[in-house]
Amino acid sequence: MKITMLEPLGVKEEKIMEMAKRFTDAGHEFVFCGEPIKTEEEKAERAKDADVLIIANSPLTSNVINAAENLKMISVGFTGVDHVDLEACEKKGIRVCNAQGYATDSTGEMTVALMLACLRNVVPYDKVVREGGTMHGFQHNTLKGKTIGIVGTGAIGRKVGELTKAFGCRLLGYDVVENQAALDLGIEYKTLEEVFAESDIVTMHAPLLDSTRNLANEKTIGLMKKTGILINCARGPLVDSQALADALNEGRIAKAGIDVYEMEPPIPAEHPLLNAKNVILTPHVAFYSEESLEHRVGIVCDNITAWMDGNPINVKL
């Protein structure tokens, strides 16, 4: 079979080829990709004789899928598969598998990094020192003793629970499904409103669905404590950015740490969060650690092996 990478996976060629040795040793062809492919036409040309495609998070349209006449399987090096035209895949009976869990540790740690950066004034302190200032006029807070409200108690939500529990935090949770592993961790399930009202830090970890769009909105953000902190390392549209910016600018909540937006960065200059007070912004990088990228190449290859063996794993379609 011909296994073709359609975009880079952020790991060096020699490392990827080492992981792909299992395929080449078995007589399959493996086509590495080190540079982003710019046009749809180039993608379609590259995909046209592939049996298996490996992609990351750039859109895979029906044009490319239909051009790949032999295509049977897509191994997506990403958690979400909303960038793949699943309807086109379904019509052609193409199996789609994702890299579920590759970034759980990385995203969980980044979430806690943003919590600590907010609580401990890391970004303003850096500026103060560079401008010749002193500690005076600042005070910061510990994570210990804080109540963390986890919206979406799946893999990443629970990782954040595990990490913040180690700091001595109390854990509240909201989810559409109560999860035994979350209960075992000590997460107390509450309503969405209770989580926003009772937590010192609310952190978003639900997927992007119609039901999760704007879960953090004017009303729920309005329930937060004045000292409250909102963190979003899930998907941008879970938070109403304008409502968050207004709450920050009016001092109705204290701080926010945001990794994701309605669009992939660069975000437009007029975006409300660019002009909001007390918010730390990162360019959708929570998943992007060296360790998680290597882990995802392993999962992407395992998905192909399992599918070839007739026992597909991480199946999304």
Please report, as ranges, the residues that interact with ligand NAD according to CB under 6 A.
Answer: 79-80, 103-104, 107, 151-157, 174-177, 179, 205-209, 211-212, 233-235, 259-260, 284, 286-287
Q: Which of 46, 205, 235, 295 is catalytic?
A: 235
DSSP secondary structure letter of residue 60: B
Q: How far is the CB of 222 from ligand NAD (least distance, A)?
A: 18
284 is annotated as an active-site residue: yes
DSSP string, 199-263: -SEEEE-----GGGTTSB-HHHHHTS-TT-EEEE-S-GGGB-HHHHHHHHHTTSS-EEEE---SS
132 torsion bin: left (phi>0), alpha (psi -120 to 50), beta (else): left
Whole-number Å distance between alpha carbons of 236 and 259? 8
What lies within 8 Å, CB to CB, of 266 at 6+ separation is none
Residue 112 Cβ, how far from ligand NAD at the closest point, in Å?
13
Position with the least CB separation from ligand NAD: 154
Angle between helices 104-119 and 155-166 in degrees, nearest 10: 50
Give backbone dihedrals phi and psi of 305, rounded to 5 degrees, phi first: -60, -45
Provide the minimum distance between the beta carbon of 177 and ligand NAD in the complex, in angstroms, as a whole number: 4
Assign 175 to helix, strand or coil. Answer: coil
Dist. CA 248–CA 281, nearest whole Å = 13
Q: Which CB sits closer to ligand NAD, 153 or 241?
A: 153
In sequence order, the 6+-apart residues with CB closer than 8 A to the CB of 164 are: 112, 115, 143, 146, 148, 171
| Angle between helices 122-130 and 104-119 in degrees, nearest 10 | 60
Based on the residue annotation, tell me whether 46 is a catalytic residue of this protein: no
> With respect to ligand NAD, which residue has the nearer C-beta, 77 or 152?
152
Choice among 218, 264, 290, 291 that is catalytic:
264
Q: Minimum Å distance from CB 107 to ligand NAD?
A: 4
CA distance 134 to 32: 52
Q: Which residue's CB is nearer to ligand NAD, number 129 or number 315?
A: 315
Candidates 46, 158, 271, 284; catalytic one: 284
- CB burial of 123-156 (b: ≥16 within 10 Å; e: otherwise) equals ebeeebeeeeeeeeeeeebebeebbbbbbbbbbb
> Residue 120 CB, nearest distance to ligand NAD (Å)?
21
Minimum CB–partner distance for residue 158 and ligand NAD (Å): 8
Nearer to ligand NAD, 71 or 206 (CB): 206
Comparing CB distances to ligand NAD, the nearer of 52 and 300 is 300
Query: Between residues 4 and 100, which has the closer beta carbon with respect to ligand NAD?
Result: 100
* Known active-site residue 235: yes
Residues marked active site are found at 235, 264, 284
